Each structure stands twice: as C-alpha cells, then as structure tokens.
Amino acid sequence: MYAERVAPRQQEGQVAHSMNSTARWLLATAVLSFQALGCQGRSTASHDEVIGLWTTTSQLYQERAFEITENRLYLGIGEGEFKVHPIHGVKVTQEHGTTLYTFRYSNAGVSQQLSLRLHPKGYVTFGNRNNVFWNRAEPGSSRPWAWIESGDTGRANRSDADSLSRHGPGE
C-alpha cells in the first residue's frame, strides 16, 4: 500500500516539471517572436524620416521651430534665439501605428533626451504637448541658424556661441 501512495506523487511531480518546461519554452518562443516582428526599439537607428525643419501654427509656439540634421538638433527658442546640440544617439520604436524617436544629446555637458512621435499623416508631436502639431517646413524656409551649416561662425551671437564653443561644429 505504501508503494501505491508514493508512485502517484512521483508521477504528479514529473507532470509538474514537464508543465514548467513547457511554460518556459512558450515564454521564450513568445519573446523571440516579439523581437523578430520588430516590436523592439533599435538603439542605433536612422532618423532620416524626421530630418528637416519643423514648424507649427500653434499660438503657444509663435516664432519657434526646430530642425533635425544627421548630427545636430537646432531648437529655435523665440525672438531669433536658438540652441544647437550635437546628437549622440537615436532610439526608434514603433508604437500604436506611429514612430517614436528618442534623441540623446548634450546640453552644457549634460546628457538629455528629446522624444517626438512621427504620425502616419506626416506631422510630429511631443509627449508633453501631444495636441500641438509640427509640420515639415517648405524647402527654402527661413532658418535663423542657416549660417552655421555654411561655416560662417563670425555671426555667432550670445545664445549659440556657447553651444558652438562648447561642442564644436559637427560633434
């Protein structure tokens, strides 16, 4: 009688072990499938889709614009003033039918991030102001920082001279 009681317990333990293995295998398969479908962000990714000058008609951001180049982020802060920051990395993630771009850049030697979302209709929004729509500017639109790309550093003013001298062109 003792042998009959032991045998079922051993069999139960073997079934439980086999279920744990199956659950682990299914979990591993699900994770790998998720990654294979491209649902994971890429740490070094192209941001070609958002390169360009962006403006908005929102009254909150009159006289403001931003531009993304291959290696710089220009932020127009109003009244003809702007900041220039070198881009150190970009993470691109697909979420809810949009593309989330997270830029890593330096500001006065401090690493910071800027995230924006590209929508299928071609406009971008920022997480903190998702009701303000930024549209790509027409080619040839006025850019207060255009002289930087041309190499004319003699025109540096108080807001951009610090960024240029701290980071140097093209860093």
CA 5 to chain CA centroid, nearest Å: 61
pLDDT in tens, 6-30: 444 444 444 444 445 544 444 444 4
Asked if 125 and 133 count as a contact pair (C-beta separation under 8 A), the reply is yes
pLDDT at 99 over 80: yes
Q: What is the pTM of this model?
A: 0.63
- State percent of the chain over pLDDT 90: 44
pLDDT in tens, 121-151: 999 999 888 899 999 998 888 888 887 776 6
Cβ neighbours of residue 49 closer than 8 Å, sequence gap 6 or more: 99, 118
Distance CA 45, CA 43 (A): 6
Q: What is the DSSP string of the chain?
A: -HHHHHHHHHHHHHHHHHHHHHHHHHHHHHHHHHHHTT-S-BSB---GGG-EEEE---GGGTT-EEEE-SSEEEEEEETTEEEEEEEEEEEEEEETTEEEEEEEEEETTEEEEEEEEE-TTS-EEETTEEEEEEEEPPTT---TTHHHHHT-GGG--HHHHHHHHHH-TT-
